[in-house]
Amino acid sequence: MELKNKKIETQLSHDNCKKYEGAVVPPIFQNSLFSFEDWEAVDRAFENPDKSFIYSRGKNPTVSIVEEKLAMLAGAEKAQLFPSGMAAISAAIMYCVNSGDHVISLKNLYGPSSNFLTNYLKPKFNVDTTFVQGNSIEDFEKAIKPNTSMIYLESPSTAVFSLQDIEAVSKLAKSKGIKTIIDNTWATPLYQKPLAMGIDIEIHSCSKYLGGHSDIVGGVLMGKAEIIDSIFKREYAWLGAKIAPIEAWLLLRSLRTLAVRMERHQYNALTVAEFLENHPKIKFVRFPGLKSFPQYDLGKKQMTGYSSLMSFQLNTDDIKKVKIFFNSLQLFHKGVSWGGFESMVYAPAIAYIKELNEKQFENMGISMSDIRISVGLENTDDLIDDLEFALNKI
């Protein structure tokens, strides 16, 4: 049976059992090295390191099974797993840029990605980054310099959920010979297909929805074979950040339920967002699935669904009240990260209050009364009760 011709839910659910004695779940190949019949066999493996199992810092069968599944899901020729989203992101960026190059990215980029560009590549390799708003194609056009080698996107961004017109940006980049990367973690490869829109490298933190059970940290890069093979031979092999077979295996477990989980995440998030939007103690909600979202039409054009991370502003400037709201939530776990089965709440002010002044806060498009929630798979009645309870405390 050819899985390739089946619908995506079917492809995600099934593995080739015949290969593994009929086991419906493939085994974990927990070995560091592989042995060979003879000199010639070793020689053949060395000739094709990206297709051969030699040593688990390179290819590992468990990892390869998951990479093939992810590539299928994203419509990519190839995928490369990494031990974290940041390992994937730094490898992808280093593939795209040389010292002295110029990069264009977003003001509201995921913090560590932004820091890698600003506080690492700039001082060490003189790679300059222009951070743009990214809501219009002119933002990118104006920022292009003769030495621009990469445009790095995140749509929707996970700070303020702003979108970029992916097709327009990739077209512009292609016309100038600029490589494009997108962090597609929010939408998942199920609901947004950036490679089909012309993007060169699609990145995910597998620690979010792809993992979904809050028990793995991982990352993946996807794109044309030529690009992924080059990253495998250089950034993956030489920087040596490899994913453990057990983590890859847990990710395979998670992918089987991705489609059902996302359906529920989306339903729960929309229900909660609509409740929040209509509540008098809430100024506004940022969620691309709401009709009131400023870029709703662009979202509809380039995504086929929504996930469940959103933020909102409480109708108060009093940080004491923001704290009371936060601490009054009982069902929502308090902490960072998102995309798991459990609902989470985080307040950007917890970190920024120590680093930034009010003005810098505003420049990022957020305020002291911003709350970010990741809506999990619980019953929405319970989630809304919890939010209502905390809102009544302020």
Ligand X SMILES: *Cc1c(COP(=O)(O)O)cnc(C)c1O
Query: By the criterion CB under 6 A, which residues form the site for ligand X?
Result: 84-86, 110, 154, 158, 183, 185, 205, 207-208, 217, 219
Which CB, 61 or 245, lies closer to ligand X? 245
| Residue 296 beta carbon to ligand X: minimum distance, rounded to whole angstroms | 21
| Residue 178 beta carbon to ligand X: minimum distance, rounded to whole angstroms | 21
| SS3 state at 177 | coil
Which CB, 163 or 390, lies closer to ligand X? 163
Residue 120 structure tokens: 């690492």
Whether the Cβ atoms of residue 319 and residue 349 lie closer than 8 Å to each other: yes
DSSP string of 40-56? HHHHHHHH-TTTS-SBT
Using CB atoms, what's the residue nearest to ligand X?
85
Say how far apart CA 96 and CA 88 lie, in whole Å: 13
| Residue 68 beta carbon to ligand X: minimum distance, rounded to whole angstroms | 21
Burial class (CB in 10 A: 0-12, 13-18, 19+), 288: buried
Say how far apart CA 176 and CA 61 lie, in whole Å: 39
Which CB, 217 or 322, lies closer to ligand X? 217
Strand stretches in the chain, DSSP E: 78-82, 102-106, 128-132, 148-154, 179-183, 201-205, 219-223, 282-286, 309-314, 333-334, 344-346, 370-374
| Residue 304 beta carbon to ligand X: minimum distance, rounded to whole angstroms | 19
Which CB, 220 or 390, lies closer to ligand X? 220
| Residue 280 beta carbon to ligand X: minimum distance, rounded to whole angstroms | 31
- Cβ-proximal residues to 362 (8 Å cutoff; 6+ apart), any chain: none
Which CB, 110 or 325, lies closer to ligand X? 110
- State the pairing for strand pair 309-314/370-374: antiparallel
Q: What b/e readout covers 105-139, taking b as 16+ CB neighbours within 10 angstroms?
A: bbbbbbeebbebbbeebeeeeebbbbbbebeeeeb
Which CB, 70 or 282, lies closer to ligand X? 70
Which CB, 159 or 322, lies closer to ligand X? 159
Say how far apart CA 255 and CA 247 lie, in whole Å: 12
| Residue 156 beta carbon to ligand X: minimum distance, rounded to whole angstroms | 9
| Residue 149 beta carbon to ligand X: minimum distance, rounded to whole angstroms | 21
